[in-house]
Amino acid sequence: MTDLVVRKIGWEFDATVPFLWQPDNPDFSIFGNAFTFIAVPFEKYIIDAVRKAQREFDMDPDIAAEAQAFLRQEAQHAAAHRKHMLALIERYPALEKCYDDAVASYDRLIEQYPAEYHWAYIANLEATFTPLFKVVLDNRDALFGSGDQRVASLLMWHFVEEIEHRSSGLTLYRHLRADPWYRVKHVKSTFTHVGDLSTMIAKTFDDVVPFAERGASAEELLSIRLLVGEFKYRGPGGARRRARDGGLPTLFNAVPTRELAAMVWRLVLSQTPHHDPTEQPLPPSADHWMREYDRGTDMTTYFGRPPADAPPSGGSAN
């Protein structure tokens, strides 16, 4: 039986939440905001994928329980991110296009492919989260520390729970299709779709939010050049290249090169046919977060800085 815990946390967001919620790292602000606008439609996609496979899942009580626990955790994530998303839309109404485009994109995907494809997609995407979020959580002070605690705490909670259910997508996929190569065959399709979705969201961010209120180009960040750019500024001559390009911090600017290289290697391994998420190294801070939750700590203010008042904005991008 599954041991996933469904945690209900009283998240609250309003129009005082700034788009640039982490002013020391604008790229990380954009990354977190994009994650919000994908998380809400992605949960709807998971619901549709469960419905497509419900009869097969119900044939095994353990698998049915895993699917329901996974869905319930994801539903909590979507409900919380919806509050963040609506707060950003209240400040910038045209950002609703991000949500509409993402929903339409996932609706087309559901109509186009059978159930096993969707669970291959979910397993492929979720497999990347443990290596990615381990690096984020291991460097949480630098990445989250000076950010608005409402968004920082939301993301930390979500990343911890993605690590907790790291095997769920693959477990459900394997119930539908034992062949590991079918999943690998659709790796390119999975990340082409995720990339196209990210590009749509990034373009809307750049069109709608004034540069002064986002601090960086979303289109440059959320592109295939992301990791190439991270390594561009490391090693001999890296500091000069960074200064020549404006000196702004990159998304993983604070992450040691060795950790970043290990993350990239684990991301590659996560898409191999016999990858097992249970064998991934985990961030100690995830266990600490869970212990704090069990103690009754207010997880909505767990990390980051208390927010400063930020007046609503309805500006358009320059």
Dihedral-angle region of residue 37 (phi above 0 means left; psi in -120 to 50 means alpha; beta otherwise): alpha
Count of domains forming the chain: 1
The pLDDT, as a whole number, for residue 314 is 47
The pLDDT, as a whole number, for residue 237 is 73
How many Å apart are CA 41 and CA 206, to the nearest integer? 20
The pLDDT, as a whole number, for residue 22 is 96
The pLDDT, as a whole number, for residue 159 is 97
The pLDDT, as a whole number, for residue 210 is 97
- Using CA atoms, how far residue 244 sits from 22, 43, 212, 247, in Å, is 23, 41, 21, 7
The pLDDT, as a whole number, for residue 301 is 95
**Where in the sequence is the domain holding 236, given as residue range(s)?**
26-301
The pLDDT, as a whole number, for residue 161 is 96
> For the CA atoms of 211, 213, 217, 218, what is the dihedral angle to 10 degrees?
-140
How many Å apart are CA 227 and CA 260, to the nearest integer? 9
The pLDDT, as a whole number, for residue 18 is 97
- Residue 283 makes CB contacts below 8 A (sequence gap 6+) with 133, 134, 137, 138, 163
- Residue 194 makes CB contacts below 8 A (sequence gap 6+) with 125
DSSP 8-state symbol, 184 = H
- Using CA atoms, how far residue 58 sits from 44, 48, 120, 199, in Å, is 20, 15, 19, 37
- Within a domain: 167: yes
- Within a domain: 317: no
The pLDDT, as a whole number, for residue 200 is 96
- Within a domain: 156: yes
The pLDDT, as a whole number, for residue 253 is 87
Q: Which one, of 129, 144, 135, 202, lies nearest residue 22 by Cα?
A: 144
Beta bridge partner(s), residue 148: 305
Residue pair 66/168 in contact (Cβ under 8 Å)? The answer is yes
Residue pair 202/34 in contact (Cβ under 8 Å)? The answer is yes
pLDDT tens digits, 47-81: 999 999 999 999 999 999 999 999 999 999 999 99
- Within a domain: 315: no
How many Å apart are CA 283 and CA 133, to the nearest integer? 8
Q: Which one, of 142, 147, 78, 86, lies nearest residue 302 by Cα?
A: 147
Residue 86 backbone phi and psi in degrees, to 5: -65, -30
- Within a domain: 20: no
- Within a domain: 55: yes
Segments of the chain with pLDDT less than 70: 1-2, 224-225, 229, 238-239, 242, 245-247, 309-318
> For the CA atoms of 144, 10, 66, 286, what is the dihedral angle to 10 degrees?
30
The pLDDT, as a whole number, for residue 250 is 85
- Within a domain: 102: yes
- Within a domain: 310: no
- Using CA atoms, how far residue 122 sits from 50, 109, 186, 269, in Å, is 11, 12, 11, 16
The pLDDT, as a whole number, for residue 224 is 66
The pLDDT, as a whole number, for residue 197 is 96
How many Å apart are CA 162 and CA 156, to the nearest integer? 10
